[in-house]
Chains A and B, each alone.
Chain A
Amino acid sequence: MKHDFIEKLKNDKNNSFINTIDNDINDDDIIVSISDEYALKDIKMTAGSKMLEDFTPKYTASVVKNIIDNGYKIIGKTNMDEFGIISHLSKPYFGANEDITDKNAYFSSSLAIKNDLVDIAIINDNSGVSRISANYLELYGFKPTFGTTSRAGVIQTFNTFGQTAAISKDYNNIYDLFNQIAKKENNDLLSLENNEFKKDINSIDYKDMKIAIINDVENLIKSKDIKDKYLTSIELLKDKGLNIESIDLDLENIKLVTDILSNTEFSSNMNRYNGIIYGHRTEEYNNTTELFEKSRSEGFGLDVKERIVLGLSFINGENHDNIYEVARKNRNILWTLFDNLFKNYDLIITPVSPYNLEDFNNLNSIDELLYNDIFTSFANLYGAPSISIPINSGILATAGKLNDSKLIYLAKVLGE
């Protein structure tokens, strides 16, 4: 047996896993974890929430089926903050990642890799969790082009932003995995053919590619050491002979568009958990309204309630036209802007996050926590592939849609 998984898990104080799966492991098997938002037939799926504590799906998510069919061994379901909402008002329902923080379970998938429990961790990246958490632990985090895998069987939270992503110590593992599982499927109309991973990783060569860095991006970085190391990283890219030019991009306004639309989607998606079709049902109620309100109030944690209220605030009364509609139209304009930008540049390079790990763990307000995704989330808004590369406290590269292999090429160049 390659991994003495259960034994290691007994000593894991990080609550990295919610469920383990009985699977025979051979020496040459590649071990995979999936976060607890992916359906696996007859195994509980909680999304880290009391609301779904007793929910057992009768189906397996398409992407998970593809992982299994290609010979990967899934050995457990990793813990997560409730429905992927980072905890700060309440503790995560299935425990926090104690080695790093007592506040949230944000690092569960990355810790499964860091502690050698698995080779690849699968997680749904809605605004940057795969890339940011991986980078804090000096791992690779990679989100492919939106639609590379089917969303069928994945809990829908931020459905036009989320994409199955992978975390690993080795970018070759990630590339090989998506080579096997990237697939257009009829059960998700927005899935597409992504042939990028069929290219031979050893022969891909984009040495003439043009890289854009964003003017004054260092002013958006909050931790001084991240700022210093980012500037060093740019020098490193130049030393590698890469062609770098500066562009203007208003990341703060783009981030605001992302926050408005994603949280509105989230509040809408949470409507299905009413104690009747899905979710926790309260024990005592006198009518259906009371059943809904009590079930939802007992089932959801404070952070989820906060995001529901936030999403509804953006469409409440006049805000519908003045905030939500403006953001929705801005998104279309931004899609065109990024289409044009990626005609001229192969990659955009930024830091991964504005805060170092210590400062990140001290964040207390939702505004600050959302800000931590400022560099990662535009890839989710646009549907672009993006990778965090763990050098010099991390750099984030984002490519145009269906140009995923350029990111792996960069990881290869920087790893040499």
Chain B
Amino acid sequence: MNDEILKKIYKSAGLLYIEDEAKNISNDLEDIILKATRIEKLEGIETYNTINFSDLRDNSEGDTFSVEEALYNTKQSKYSYFEIKEFVE
């Protein structure tokens, strides 16, 4: 992980950036992050486009909504509390 990204992630994590510690962690994470970048899309992922309410709650009807709609709020949380707080300030 390059230094700038590592510093950004530490900021986002609400942790003090201590260089030796951060580099030690970064080195240890190298293999698992590399592996994650090679994640295979499973068959059917392209046609995965709806979520059934009944998948989420036992007592709901069978209505559906788009994944994009469902993900909208999730995507808003791609920034952490600490980043948003910094932005607001």
Contact = CB atoms under 8 A, between A and B. Distances in A.
Contacts, number: 118
A333 B29 contact: no
Contact of A323 (B8, B9, B25, B39): B39
Given A289-B86, A365-B31, A323 B14 contact: no
Interface string A243-287: 000000000010011011000000110010010000000000000
Contacts of A310: 29, 32-33
A271 B39 contact: no
A327 B39 contact: yes
Given A296-B13, A319-B37, A365-B28, 5 more contacts: A293-B16, A296-B15, A310-B29, A330-B41, A330-B45
Nearest to B44: A333
Question: Max chain A CB contacts within 10 Å: which of B1, B5, B8, B13?
Answer: B13
A320 B76 CA distance: 11
B31 A367 contact: yes
Contacts of A260: 36, 39
A322 interface: yes
Contact of B36 (A89, A268, A312, A323): A323
Interface in B20-62: 21-22, 24-26, 28-29, 31-33, 35-37, 39-45, 48
Interface string A127-157: 0000000000000000000000000000000
Q: Shortest 10 CB-CB distances between A and B: which pairs? A: A297-B16, A367-B31, A333-B42, A306-B25, A367-B32, A292-B14, A308-B13, A293-B16, A330-B42, A312-B9
A315 B78 contact: yes
Contacts of B29: 306, 309-310, 313, 366
A257 B82 CA distance: 26
Contacts of B25: 89, 302, 305-306, 309
Nearest to A273: B14
Contact of B37 (A289, A312, A322, A334): A322
B66 interface: no
B45 A305 contact: no
A343 B20 CA distance: 51
A184 to B, nearest CB: 10
Given A294-B16, A305-B15, A313 B31 contact: no
27 contacts: A256-B39, A260-B36, A267-B13, A274-B14, A294-B16, A296-B13, A302-B21, A305-B13, A305-B25, A306-B25, A309-B10, A309-B26, A312-B80, A313-B29, A313-B33, A314-B33, A315-B78, A316-B8, A319-B36, A319-B37, A323-B37, A323-B39, A326-B39, A329-B41, A329-B42, A330-B41, A370-B32
Nearest to A254: B42
A253 to B, nearest CB: 5
B9 A313 contact: yes
Contacts of A314: 33, 36
B81 interface: yes
Nearest to B11: A293
A271 B78 contact: no
Question: Max chain B CB contacts within 10 Å: which of A253, A292, A329, A334?
Answer: A329
Interface of A: 89, 253, 256-257, 259-260, 267-268, 271, 274, 289, 292-294, 296-297, 300, 302, 305-306, 308-310, 312-317, 319-320, 322-323, 325-327, 329-330, 332-334, 336-337, 365-367, 370
Contacts of B82: 289, 292
Question: Max chain B CB contacts within 10 Å: which of A259, A297, A302, A314?
Answer: A297
A325 B9 CA distance: 19
B48 A329 contact: yes
B48 A316 contact: no
B42 A271 contact: no
Contacts of A312: 9, 12-13, 80
Contacts of A268: 77
